[in-house]
Homo-oligomer: A and B are copies of this chain.
């Protein structure tokens, strides 16, 4: 023990890197939004390839009449991650967001957090990255045109990820509110994507090899009817992601080969909630691992029934953590108490007071 002045600055061990919304935006701009989504897709694929090494814990929800807060933890036995996410449809009335989130990645061998980060933007990035990853295995080879039905917050990220990772150059955009499609087209100007704004969903899917549905209505909707969907397409169904919210007519599901993240969750939250409990679905990790077939014929309709799974958040947290040192866009949070003597927590409190006295003197 030194007898000199007491060192009261927290040690490096006490700091947790924190990525604020502002720093997340700086980081994404510095690295490039498409590069970030490609990186996240690679990390998701890597983690799906070791699917069986993960604890797959159900989401832990807390409910109020206005909405839900969920904790989504997962772990591979060495690293632990969780996301906090809320869903409150009425929030927009008071100028708040419907969905916000943050996440933590921790070293499970020490219990110490490695990263605290905003996850509203990060979830948007990982959702699109995850869609593009699935489409690389399922969409027709040489796809160049994607219909995007529902032009809200997720649509920009979907278009950019599909451009970068699948070579999509033509977007056919439809939204019940034309202003949303205009917004999307404005944001994508200069991105290398041609956006055609369409007056009807039927118009939007004309000539598209990939159909992305990303509508926001929380209800059992029918964005696509059976007669609209021709053979050979890949459907990327992003919007239906909770009980009571679907986008596709059941008959489309019956004609499609359905691919899912985690069947136990998708059967409750996804388009699959319309089907019998034992309706056959294929787990994506098995496709990535070569244990199950993806697209097997030109005429096949493939459907990714996307709901969002904890391992995707885990992969996104890992990616952000790994690029932190090179981007430098983070702050250090003094989150963990780190007394010189772990048995003397109260002494740390007392000594910190002595320091204030010194400063005052």
A residues adjacent to B (C-beta < 8 A) = 10-11, 13-14, 18, 20-22, 24-26, 28-29, 33, 55, 57, 60, 62-69, 71, 73, 75, 77-78, 80, 82, 84, 86-88, 91-92, 94-100, 102, 104, 106, 108-113, 118, 120-121, 124, 152-153, 156-157, 160, 180, 183, 186-187, 216, 333-339, 341-350, 352-353, 356
Interface centre among A14, A28, A216 (most CB of B within 10 A): A14
Asked whether, in the complex, the Cβ of B88 is within 8 Å of the Cβ of A64, the reply is no
A243 to B98, CA, bound (A): 41
A28-B349, A345-B121 are contacts. A20–B334 as well, Cβ < 8 Å?
yes
Contact of A110 among B55, B91, B156 (CB under 8 A): B91
Smallest CB–CB gap between A242 and chain B, Å?
A: 14
Interface centre among A33, A69, A187 (most CB of B within 10 A): A69
A60-B71, A62-B80, A71-B71 are contacts. A153–B342 as well, Cβ < 8 Å?
yes
Contact of A334 among B22, B152, B187 (CB under 8 A): B22
Asked whether, in the complex, the Cβ of A335 is within 8 Å of the Cβ of B69, the reply is no
A98-B342, A353-B29 are contacts. A118–B335 as well, Cβ < 8 Å?
yes
Contact of A64 among B108, B113, B334 (CB under 8 A): B108
Contact of A153 among B25, B69, B78, B343 (CB under 8 A): B343
Additional pairs, 20, CB under 8 Å, beyond known A86-B106, A88-B110, A153-B345:
A11-B95, A13-B96, A18-B333, A21-B337, A21-B338, A29-B356, A60-B73, A62-B108, A64-B109, A65-B109, A69-B106, A87-B111, A88-B109, A91-B110, A98-B342, A100-B111, A120-B336, A153-B342, A153-B343, A160-B346
A21-B335, A22-B352, A95-B13 are contacts. A343–B183 as well, Cβ < 8 Å?
yes
Q: Which residues of B contact A97 (CB under 8 A)?
A: 336-339, 342
Task: Return 16 A-B CB contacts under 8 Å, by A number.
Answer: A20-B333, A20-B335, A21-B337, A25-B349, A57-B60, A67-B110, A69-B75, A69-B80, A69-B106, A86-B110, A88-B110, A102-B335, A118-B336, A120-B337, A120-B345, A121-B345
Of all chain B residues, which has the CB nearest A152? B343
A146 to B129, CA, bound (A): 60
Q: Which residues of B contact A335 (CB under 8 A)?
A: 20-21, 102, 118
A7 to B129, CA, bound (A): 30
Q: Which residues of B contact A63 (CB under 8 A)?
A: 77, 108
Q: Which residues of B contact A344 (CB under 8 A)?
A: 153, 183, 187
Of all chain B residues, which has the CB nearest A355? B25
Interface centre among A98, A99, A353 (most CB of B within 10 A): A353
Of all chain B residues, which has the CB nearest A336? B100
Q: Which residues of B contact A157 (CB under 8 A)?
A: 345-346
A243 to B340, CA, bound (A): 29
A183 to B347, CA, bound (A): 9
Q: Which residues of B contact A55 (CB under 8 A)?
A: 62
Q: Which residues of B contact A10 (CB under 8 A)?
A: 21-22
A96-B13, A121-B337 are contacts. A86–B62 as well, Cβ < 8 Å?
no
A80 to B69, CA, bound (A): 8
